[in-house]
Amino acid sequence: MSDKKTIVISAVNLRKGGTLTILRDCLQYLSQLVQESDYRVVALVHKRELCDYDGIEYIEMPDIIKGWSKRLWCEYVTMHKISEELPPVYLWLSLHDTSPRVKADRQAVYCQTSFPFYKWNLRDFRMDFKIPLFAMFTKYAYKVNIRSNRYLIVQQNWLREGFSRMFGLDKGKFIVAPPQRKQIDVTPEEIKKDCFTFFYASTPDCHKNFETLCEAARLLENEIGQGKFKVVLTLSGDENRYSKWLYEGWGNVRSIEFAGFMSRERLYGHYKSADCLVFPSKVETWGLPITEFMEASGDKPMLLADLPYAHETAAGASQVCFFNPSDPKELKERMKELIQDKCVALASVPKLEIEEQKAESWKELFEILLS
């Protein structure tokens, strides 16, 4: 029998976007670790081709995404069986929110979604019933077996505070691990503009709260007229029920441009050319466009939802105004003040001093998990 300690990474439903990036970054670091130390790493994934790294052993589980019943059976039955069949597991790290029932010396869970804190409404059910159902489900999915974890990993301090209160857990069990920013090698597309431009980059999902910005733009256009400003949105109005509702309600507002999905080059071109980022989303784990805009635009103003995630993500920025994400009239006033160069509410956002434990890299994170 091998003397190597076994690390299991369970990530069977991570297939795209930011969650897949987290899985890849994790396995990339562990690929180096297994070459330098006496650890064996087994990764439970959707498909190996999504995250293939040297030195990692893979168990592919492509059918798990075909329904919540399969996912739950996998978490609490299949993974338990796998943990018994493997050599004694030293660390079982779940990268997708749930805490499986497994045999391991120690467990940890990466809490990737903030949806347990989303305050959904009935319109969300009409637009996409999966969003509020997901918000309700994740709260209880987190809760099951959560106390089996030695550590819980979150990206921001407010999530540590929130989950600690929600589940009655000691804050000392949490590790705050902000996402690592990589140098983006992209040549921004040149974007021409002829008026003050506000930009909101996001996916057409109802929790992204495009309607507050759209209504603020309508009110502002009625007040100061057309041609004085433009609001550029990264949706076209035909992607889904929500985006169609947005276009039907505000497609006649001349100051709104439904620009649709953008390549990375075009996205960064808009970051660079826009006069102000607006970010009204009602729930985020991080809010990546805020970080991207700060990096790409220099020191331009941002109008951000007055919610904990935005305060932490914007830390260090010098021209920020927070607004009530449910109040388009307030947002309209802030937009008008910016156009008129009279926005006295702009202020710097202090950097947050995060209490221990925290990890600035995968190396630091695994040093805590394995110690």
Domain locations in the chain as residue ranges: 5-180+356-370, 196-339
Q: What's the fold here for domain 5-180+356-370? A: Rossmann fold (3.40.50)
Q: What is the pLDDT of residue 1?
A: 45
- For 15, the token pair is 């297939």
Low-confidence stretches of the chain (pLDDT < 50) are: 1
Q: What is the pLDDT of residue 108?
A: 96
Q: What is the pLDDT of residue 186?
A: 80
Q: How many residues does the chain have?
A: 371
Q: What pTM value is reported for the model?
A: 0.88
As its CATH architecture, domain 196-339 has: 3-Layer(aba) Sandwich (3.40)
Q: CA 133, 117, 75: angle at the middle one, nearest 5?
A: 55
Domain 5-180+356-370 matches domain 196-339 at the CATH topology level: yes
Phi, psi of 260 (to 5 degrees): 80, -175
Segment 14-61, tens digit of pLDDT: 887 778 888 999 999 999 999 988 899 999 999 999 999 999 999 998
